Amino acid sequence: MKTGCCLSEHQCKIGVLVSGRGTNLQSLIDASREGRMAAEVSVVVSNRANAPALDRAKKAGIPGFVVNAVKGETKEAFEKQIGEIFNRHGVNLVVLAGFMRIVSPWLISRFKNRIINIHPALLPSFPGLSAQKQALEYGVRLSGCTVHFVDEGCDTGPIILQTAVPVLDTDTVESLSERILKEEHKLLPKAVDLLAKNKVKVTGRRVEILP
């Protein structure tokens, strides 16, 4: 089925979930304001009050919120707070941009085929944490990044776009991570643009990019 995440190119509002520096958030903000992406960042939510990503949102004039996970609280209770924020800001596409929490079925069901994630590996290889370290330890000659739909698994959702990055003999985790990150900054806005223009068709686990 066609994702249909946005009613038109001018009504695609993104809610971005962050935990850290927010460089991928910045790539979305820049792409939107430079006309390279037919969507706008409507709101940013972090589970960490000291996340630099919130400063990026503030500088760009985008509302930013902190939702703290309370010990003993269910994931659903935590995500209901996020869902309420997204509803208030008209969000119809959710982007995980360095969000260091597993999203539960509760939020996934409310944004079916409208939650995407950027991962620093060529999925299905090296899911989860420390993907760059995994790639180096395995000895692959190619790594890269993947934008995929979020499902109930860990980095297991249908793949939308990927970009390959060569692994050099001299690479460290830091150098490989930095080179992959540069490609993430290009790939994520491109994927969002396709979704905003309703050019992504999902059939089961198969994703087709429409002309």
Length of the chain: 211
Spatial distance between the Cα atoms of 115 and 16, rounded to a whole number of angstroms? 10
Nearest residue to 87 via CA among 111, 71, 108, 68: 111
- Cα(203)–Cα(158) distance, rounded to whole angstroms? 9
Rounded Cα distance, 147 and 204, in Å: 17
User: Interhelix angle for 23-33 vs 52-59, to 10°?
Assistant: 20
Calpha distance 46→21 (Å, rounded) = 11
Kindly name the residue from 89, 119, 148, 185 that is annotated as catalytic: 119
Give the integer Cα–Cα distance in Å for 118 and 96.
7
| Distance between CA atoms of residues 21 and 71, nearest Å | 24
State the Cα–Cα distance between residues 118 and 161, nearest whole angstrom: 10
- Contact status, residue 149 vs residue 160, Cβ threshold 8 Å: yes
Whether residue 119 lies in the annotated active site: yes
d(CA 117, CA 141): 24
Residues known to be catalytic = 119
